[in-house]
Amino acid sequence: MRRDYVTLDLSNADQDGDHLPTAVLTYEGPTDLLEERLTDAVSDPLDSESVDVAFRLQSTADANDASGVFSLTNRVTGGFVVEVNAEAETVRTLVDAARREDDPDDAEGCYRILVRRDDETVASYEKRTLLVYDGEGSLLRQHSLIPSGVEL
């Protein structure tokens, strides 16, 4: 799947809101390919526990115009579900919003990912973890969302 088929936008990323911060991935490519990627080996939709979220920097984290690749991967196969080129500042904003202390008590995650096609949500995942890596694949813990009690 080509990265240019996807755009990344944020909603509810204000620190004062009462909704989960949300990364909205809007897909504009072939429908069959997206449907295939959003399902498992027996064609059931991937759930939140089956999807991992990561951001891989393509420049240094401190650069003013830092960018990278935001991705959803299938936890079982390791295959990419969706990838999109993204600005590091956008991902930092999502991480900062997800770290806020006033998240709703009944939320299953501290942020949400929506995959949209043709103005329709085709997948929604509530997540607590977002791993940020430098260009060489080293985990940047201070830029990542890692729930307490999780060991990597």
Which among 98, 91, 64, 67 has a CA at the least distance from the CA of 9? 91
Is the pLDDT assigned to residue 105 strictly greater than 60? no
Q: What is the pLDDT, as a whole number, of residue 106?
A: 47
Checking if the pLDDT of 19 tops 90, the result is no
User: Which pLDDT score is estimated for 133?
Assistant: 96
Check: CB of residue 147 under 8 Å from CB of residue 129.
yes
pLDDT at 101: 61
Residue with tokens 């969302």: 145
Q: How many CB atoms lie within 10 A of CB 49?
A: 9
pTM: 0.89
- Label residue 99 by pLDDT band (50, 70, 90): confident
Q: Which two tokens stand for residue 16?
A: 């004062």
pLDDT at position 148: 73
Q: Strand, coil or helix: what is 142? A: helix
Listed range (15-19, 60-64, 76-80) with the worst mean pLDDT: 15-19
Token pair recorded at residue 17: 């809101």
User: Residue type for 39, please?
Assistant: T
Of 2, 9, 33, 18, nearest in space to 122 by CA: 33
